[in-house]
Amino acid sequence: MKLGLVLSGGGARGVAHIGVLKALEEMGVRFSMVSGTSAGSIVGALYAYGYPPDDIFRIIKSMSIFKSVRPAWTWAGLLRMDGLQELLYKHIPENQFEKLKLPLTVAATEIKKGRIEYFNSGELIPAIVCSCSIPAVFNPVNFNGGLYVDGGLFDNLPVRPIRDKCDRVVGLHCNHINQEFDPNSLRTVIERSLLMAINANTQLSKGMCDVYIEPPNMSRYGSFDIGKAQEIFEYGYKFTKANYLPHHFQFH
């Protein structure tokens, strides 16, 4: 049976995916292919390359947001993700989708054409950087003749590109929105607004999953709270262990 894994975007909240994956591996769950957006594309690529969850966590934890971004003077106030690119080249030196142990699909938004595009062959690392380029924070990325920003704008839980290739799909979503909100700064208002807009496009995708794992209260972590990586990782792990059993993933 082919079991697909789909990983949402969510910035630092995406570290929860690694904790969930660790719990699923301990239950004996094995995946045949992976699809991801933004943070989910980073975790998905490392997983598809063959790194176990503990190693993925160590790699991500070493990625301080200050190491992963560089000022970009071409667009005032925006950042470049040279550090992320360097980190990925270090850990996936072949830089080819075809070198991964599991097939991977990466979602990114082509901003000139105003549509979602899915990468699953050729150069890997530029596709991941495209998928992670949060609008108004990072520079759009020129790649293969297109101009790309974060895939979450159109498809934050990219089930569609792999649904027909899998017998069953497990979706991991890390952007649960609390009903209570303290608008204590412009940044938190903008971040919540973006989260709400992105979550709207996950509703259809959620319904296409056979198992949908969404740890609650994730909105207490900000997109750039990489300093809380340990806490987020443990939360994803403990939530999955407490709420799911091996039989949830035994399909007939």
Cite the active site residues.
38, 150
Distance CA 56, CA 73 (A): 32
Neighbours of 212 (CB within 10 A): 18
Pairing state between β 104-110 and 33-37: parallel
Distance CA 117, CA 97 (A): 15
Q: Check: CB of residue 38 under 8 Å from CB of residue 10.
A: yes
Task: Enter the tokens of residue 196.
Answer: 């709400």
Q: Could you tell me the CA-to-CA distances from 156 to 21, 145, 172, 175, 196 in Å, in that order?
A: 18, 23, 11, 10, 11
Q: What stretches of the chain show up as alpha helix (H) in DSSP?
A: 15-26, 39-49, 53-61, 65-68, 82-91, 125-132, 160-163, 186-200, 202-207, 229-243
| Encoded amino acid at 50, one letter | G
Task: Enter the tokens of residue 31.
Answer: 């995946």
Pairing state between β 33-37 and 3-7: parallel
Task: Report the run of H or E that residue 4 belongs to, with start and end.
Answer: strand 3-7
Q: Check: CB of residue 71 under 8 Å from CB of residue 83.
A: no
